[in-house]
Structure 1
């Protein structure tokens, strides 16, 4: 199979490229050229800013791809800049469960009851641009502006839970691992009872391949992707600690004393529990066991620690002292 991957040099897109090349597909990665890891598998590259995609459209069509995977369409402009120039082949778009109403309520600390788990026909956000004004550079981000255009082309939309694993720039486990590296024996946490569906990056890549391999089943469909079993946040912390071989005590403290970087352990207004059974039924996709997946991620991040990890645990000491 010949596949064009838009994005593809960082985290999720990178893992998709690795899996495609690993099974001997021919791949061309279209990206800005700002990040090109030396250990990226051998494949073709086209360097262009997404807004200038028209400049390389002839070369993309000349490659004669059998499919296109878009790993980094964040805004309406991102979709509009590429879709008119893509050949009429199967498309796979990586999206997010942040399109759902439950995510909006979580961000708003609104405990309005909603059915769980979240299926593909669950209510969507009523508001737009969920991260505008937060200083993250995502003011115009909204997957609700991206998905419809891909679906109109018969594309497949994969709505991802909280993705973690090797090369994760957000380092999802770091709030625990920095305490592991410091040898902290007691960690102050809140209730830690929220259910938030996570997903290892290897399972995302596996779902992309499954969608490419079953185009008749995937065409024009939305799929939630998440782990088969979701541990509460406190259980997830314990999985991380166990994988790191660190027997720290998780000490329950009032939410107002929980350190800021452990905010996820506080009592949250909503669970974001995702049902990904449709992907299993139509695509034959099965995620890995969460304990195994977390252990694989933790080992990689322990071997590749950040250079700028905070070493100040004053907030921990103050919380533990009461």
Structure 2
């Protein structure tokens, strides 16, 4: 197949590009030139936010376009409109954030959606931007648009800082603040499983929305952190701490302690989603231990410092705040 990757040099785009190359597909990567794409692709340069930035895409035909854009929906609209008639289908990597909060348990893709517009030139509201991107893809490609509503994404090439933070922190050893409950299920998708499912889906002519994360029974917070201890060979001691103690210390779920959400509406929305549709369509999720080990191997291969997207906040708890939470009696 001939695939056009809009992006393709970082995290999700890079994983999809690598998978397509491994299948022997003919891959064209359209990007700004800030990062080198993998060997074996045709490279086109352009800036989607600039006037005339899509000029390199004015000619050419492809079987499928894959778009990972997460900012102003108008950029998706313009690309999809330009490529309509010259591409067989359009896969837009969206987000489960498009559902209104709190997402009702069990509804999956049928849950109520946030408002969004394909003509929106802003991107301050992530959920609205992703919904606008979906509408842009649907507007140009209709039922040939595949909406991949990914949840939490982990794995090699991560430039958000979630799993790399946990790996780096646990590698330092000592007492580690481990947020309970230990047996709380977590939902995420390994970026390579996302890539494989997406390319299988376009090859099988699937369209419409699919929520893409592992089942809520796939793994737990304890298994994730224990895998980090095992993989790094650290002497870290996981100090399992009740959610109430962590919240009372002023620690922010998700931001200060990546991945973790205490029990409640937010936890149910993020970590208890219904993914039966994607599972029925062939979604396969590798063990959490494999995701952790491969991310650590990649992190070591680049010197131990993960890349950081400039448009995302730096995540993770400071050593000082961790110490205060671990030893509350030492607080002034």
TM-score by length of 1: 0.80
Instruction: Name the CA distance, whole Å, in 1 between partners of 2:291 and 2:209.
Output: 24
Instruction: Name the CA distance, whole Å, in 1 between partners of 2:300 and 2:239.
Output: 20
Question: How much does 1:128 deviate?
Answer: 6.3
**Judging changes above 3 Å, is the alpha-carbon distance between structure 1 residues 313 and 185 closer, same or farther for their aligned structure 2 residues?**
same
Question: How much does 1:259 deviate?
Answer: 4.3
Pair 1:316-2:322 in alignment: yes
Instruction: Name the CA distance, whole Å, in 1 between partners of 2:125 and 2:176.
Output: 40
Paired position in structure 2 for 1:108: none
How many residue pairs match? The answer is 295
Give the gaps of 5 or more residues in structure 1: 106-113, 130-136
Paired position in structure 2 for 1:213: 203
Pair 1:124-2:113 in alignment: yes
Pair 1:55-2:39 in alignment: no
Paired position in structure 2 for 1:178: 168
Instruction: Indicate if the aligned counterparts of 2:92 and 2:145 stay in contact, CA closer than 8 A.
Output: yes
**Judging changes above 3 Å, is the alpha-carbon distance between structure 1 residues 78 and 311 closer, same or farther for their aligned structure 2 residues?**
closer
Q: Deviations over 1:253-307 (max 9, x none)?
A: 512226452275462532222222222323x332223333333223433554227
Pair 1:240-2:228 in alignment: yes
Give the gaps of 5 or more residues in structure 2: 308-313
- Bigger shift: 191-200 or 13-22? 191-200
Instruction: Name the CA distance, whole Å, in 2 between partners of 1:45 and 1:18.
Output: 14
Instruction: Indicate if the aligned counterparts of 1:188 and 1:320 stay in contact, CA closer than 8 A.
Output: no
**Which residue of 184, 187, 201 maps to 2:177?**
187
Instruction: Name the CA distance, whole Å, in 2 between partners of 1:67 and 1:263.
Output: 34
Instruction: Name the CA distance, whole Å, in 2 between partners of 1:298 and 1:197.
Output: 20
Cα RMSD after superposing both structures? 2.9
Paired position in structure 1 for 2:14: 14
Instruction: Name the CA distance, whole Å, in 1 between partners of 2:317 and 2:76.
Output: 41
Please state whether the residue corresponding to 1:50 is helix, strand or coil: coil
Instruction: Name the CA distance, whole Å, in 2 between partners of 1:191 and 1:302.
Output: 30
Paired position in structure 2 for 1:275: 274
Q: Deviations over 1:220-274 (max 9, x none)?
A: x211111133434344333333333335222315122264522754625322222
Question: How much does 1:159 deviate?
Answer: 0.5
**Judging changes above 3 Å, is the alpha-carbon distance between structure 1 residues 192 and 267 closer, same or farther for their aligned structure 2 residues?**
farther
Instruction: Name the CA distance, whole Å, in 2 between partners of 1:10 and 1:263.
Output: 20
Pair 1:77-2:64 in alignment: no
Instruction: Name the CA distance, whole Å, in 1 between partners of 2:3 and 2:25.
Output: 7
Question: How much does 1:90 deviate?
Answer: 1.2
